[in-house]
Amino acid sequence: MKMMMMKKLTLLLSVLICSIFHISHSVITDGLLPNGDFEQGPKPSQMKGSRVIDPGAIPKWVISGFVEYIKSGEKQGDMVLVVPQGSYAVRLGEDASITTTVRVTKGGYYSLSFTFVRTCAQEERLNVSVSPNSEPNDWGMLPLQTMYSSTGFDTYSWAFLAESNRIQIVLHNPALEKDPSCGPIIDSVALKLLNPPRRLRGNMLKNGDFEEGPYIFPKTTWGVLIPSNIEDDHSPLPAWIIESLKAVKYIDSNHFFVPSGTRAMELVAGRESALVQIVRTIPGKVYDLMFSVGDANNSCQGSMAVEAFAGRLTLQVPYQSKGKGGFIRAKHRFTAVSTRTRIRFLSSFYHMKSDNSGSLCGPVIDDVRLVGVRHPRIH
């Protein structure tokens, strides 16, 4: 009897150890990184004021340089420091960085999402990198000076190819400010494994419904910014290029109006916010480009217009927005002039929300389809 109880206890202990080992060594595919919200913080003995003085003081992270552990509501002079989610975040001062090591799927494309707050520096930037990597473009310098949301903080995304099962993610503030405490506040860092884009039946475009994209934090209401291809080689929006100087915004149906499905794109920076996909075509063949234009139900009102470029033709689609959600369908018929056609969308005008927040906004694009026309009418 005692022997059987010992065997059961040993078996139970083995299962428990295996469970703990599996949880602590599990591969991340979609969600917050371990202590990615920084709610687990340093001990008082590992801090000097708000500055963290022990490199390993923040669980699951290693710090370098002037890093502060920020509590929501703390004051810095006349400024109240804001934490986007939860109660704690970190601020990267002059030439400071935070690094974490995670297990991923080797060969997978990942999107990294993180929330930030700009503080006292006007020209704030953030260098995001992953190692080990052999590609020179597996890092991105993201400009943080433009704030797109009215909340005072935004979420950015950046994508990379995992070249190992175990990677290091580094967020680095390269600025050299006179005040070392100036720098972005970083909160809520997450990863998402992106599925390879493929063409669905009845659509020559990949990911035309934008359902595959970066991780959106469930409790956030401001969407996710996707930087331009100048800063990013692997797009967080599979199959699409952000061919512009400014970002575009990835939105979800939980917090915005979306014409179809659960995800869509908002063109938030006028002609500086362009969305592109290159597709194989047959020269001389006629094609129909169909898409939805609308508004996100986010107080973005007024006369909007989306320009669609394909072949040698441009179509401007006007949309009168009341800022309460809605959309229209548009069709752009064109003749291909080469074996590769660039499909491009941009917003004709700049828009700001009508709530006096000064937040950038714009028309929504969704459900983009490209099909060949078998028997086009000759006009």
What pLDDT score was predicted for residue 230? Answer: 54
What is d(CA 379, CA 373) in angstroms, rounded to the nearest whole number? 15
Average pLDDT score over the chain? 87
pLDDT at 114 over 50: yes
Residue 204 near residue 277, CB atoms below 8 Å: no
Q: Which H or E run contains 3?
A: helix 2-24
The two three-digit tokens of residue 131, written as one number = 């190692």
* Per-residue burial over 254-288, b = 16 or more CB atoms within 10 Å of its CB, e = otherwise: ebbbbbeeebbbbbbbbebbbbbbebebeeeebbe
pLDDT digits (tens, 9 = 90+) for 169-205: 999 998 876 777 788 899 999 999 999 888 888 999 9
Q: What's the pLDDT band for 119 if we cut at 50, 70, 90?
A: confident
What pLDDT score was predicted for residue 244? Answer: 84
Q: What is the mean pLDDT of residues 112-138?
A: 79
Q: What is the mean pLDDT of residues 3-7?
A: 43
Q: Model-level pTM?
A: 0.88
The torsion angles phi and psi of 105, rounded to 5 degrees, stand at -95, 115
The two three-digit tokens of residue 155, written as one number = 């979420």
Q: Which domains does the chain have, with CATH numbers?
A: 30-194 (2.60.120.200), 224-372 (2.60.120.260)
What is d(CA 97, CA 62) in angstroms, rounded to the nearest whole number? 8
* Comparison of pLDDT for 120 and 28, the residue scoring more: 28
Q: What is the mean pLDDT of residues 108-137?
A: 81
Which position has the token pair 């290029």?
A: 241
